[in-house]
Amino acid sequence: MTEPSETTVDSLVPIFFMGKRYDVPASLTIQKALEYAGYQHIRGCGCRGGVCGACGTVFRTPDSYKLQVGLACQTVVQPGMHLMILPFYPGNRSVFDIEEMKGTGGELAALYPEIFKCIGCNACSQGCPMDIDVMHYMAQAIRGDLEGVAETSFDCIMCGLCASRCPAEEVQFNVAILARRLNARHGIIRAEHLHERVKEIVSGKFEEPLRDLMSKSTEELKELYKSREAEPQMAEEDWTPVDARYV
């Protein structure tokens, strides 16, 4: 005899996906609720083997006239919500060759002159599911501060929900990724030891040790792991702050 499910009719709430009603457990996120209803998120979403940020969702609830946004993996269902998932948010993207650029704020402004249309309303920040201060990095972009934009927008997952709320119709997420790429290519000092290690890998220095590891059994690998030379522990007072640009 099958055990009764803990989910009862009383714990289900109605949601409307693409206009069709589904009754789903009230505690689920939108993503899990749709999977409960029979949909498979096998393409796009990062936690389903794709790219994080590909589950941007637009929805309305009966108790509010506002159009709301969120990530399906974070947002819990609400009774009567009408929703639609956007696998990606459309936004004009400039064409450029990062190698031919010098990494200046002027180049960023030339490729995305609409940054100067920003009215400082902060709707972009309010719509960001990662709690990024989007308006702040747009102000940094206007000032030509590529390093600042790269730092402030570091957690951006390119879902595009900031742009969906922008009355100036900017593409903040594309501005952010260009700033991070320019800063990474032209602003950050290269670590020479990394280049040396890449040369060693290309030369095949580690091929034999890797083959040796791959030939070992699980038990042998466990013993190797246990007997490995551990990193020495440092006292907290001996820590030295390191500028990330030099790592």
| pLDDT at residue number 27 | 92
pLDDT digits over 185-218, tens only? 998 887 888 889 999 999 999 999 999 999 999 9
| pLDDT at residue number 36 | 93
Kindly report the backbone phi and psi dihedral angles of residue 117, in degrees, each rounded to the nearest multiple of 5, phi listed first: -85, -5
- Position 3 confidence tier, pLDDT thresholds 50, 70, 90: very low
104 in the same domain as 32? no
Residue 149 lies in a domain: yes
| pLDDT at residue number 2 | 40
- Position 52 confidence tier, pLDDT thresholds 50, 70, 90: confident
Residue 111, helix vs strand vs coil: helix
Total count of domains within the chain: 2
Residue at which a domain ends, from 24, 59, 86: 86
CATH code of the domain containing 168: 1.10.1060
- Which residue type does 74 have? Q
154 in the same domain as 77? no
pLDDT exceeds cutoff 60 at 31:
yes
46 in the same domain as 143? no
CATH code of the domain containing 31: 3.10.20.30
Mean pLDDT of 101-126: 94
Residue 234 lies in a domain: no
CA 116 to chain centre: 25
Residue 230 lies in a domain: no
| pLDDT at residue number 28 | 94
Mean pLDDT of 56-72: 92
- Longest CA–CA span in the chain (Å) reads 71
Please give the mean pLDDT across all residues of the chain.
Answer: 87
126 in the same domain as 57? no
Residue 226 lies in a domain: no
- Position 7 confidence tier, pLDDT thresholds 50, 70, 90: very low
Q: Which of 72-81, 128-137, 171-180, 225-234 has the lowest mean pLDDT?
A: 225-234
Pick the closest to residue 55 from 78, 75, 82 (CA basis): 75
Residue 192 lies in a domain: yes
CA atoms of 89 and 36, how far apart (whole Å) = 25
Residue at which a domain ends, from 86, 118, 148: 86
72 in the same domain as 148? no
Name which residue leads in pLDDT, 153 or 49. Answer: 153
pLDDT exceeds cutoff 70 at 56:
yes
73 in the same domain as 96? no
CA atoms of 111 and 96, how far apart (whole Å) = 8
147 in the same domain as 48? no
Mean pLDDT of 168-180: 95
93 in the same domain as 82? no
- Position 78 confidence tier, pLDDT thresholds 50, 70, 90: very high
- Position 40 confidence tier, pLDDT thresholds 50, 70, 90: confident
| pLDDT at residue number 51 | 67
Residue 201 lies in a domain: yes
175 in the same domain as 131? yes
Domain span including residue 108: 89-218
Determine how many CB atoms are found less than 10 A away from the CB of residue 85: 21
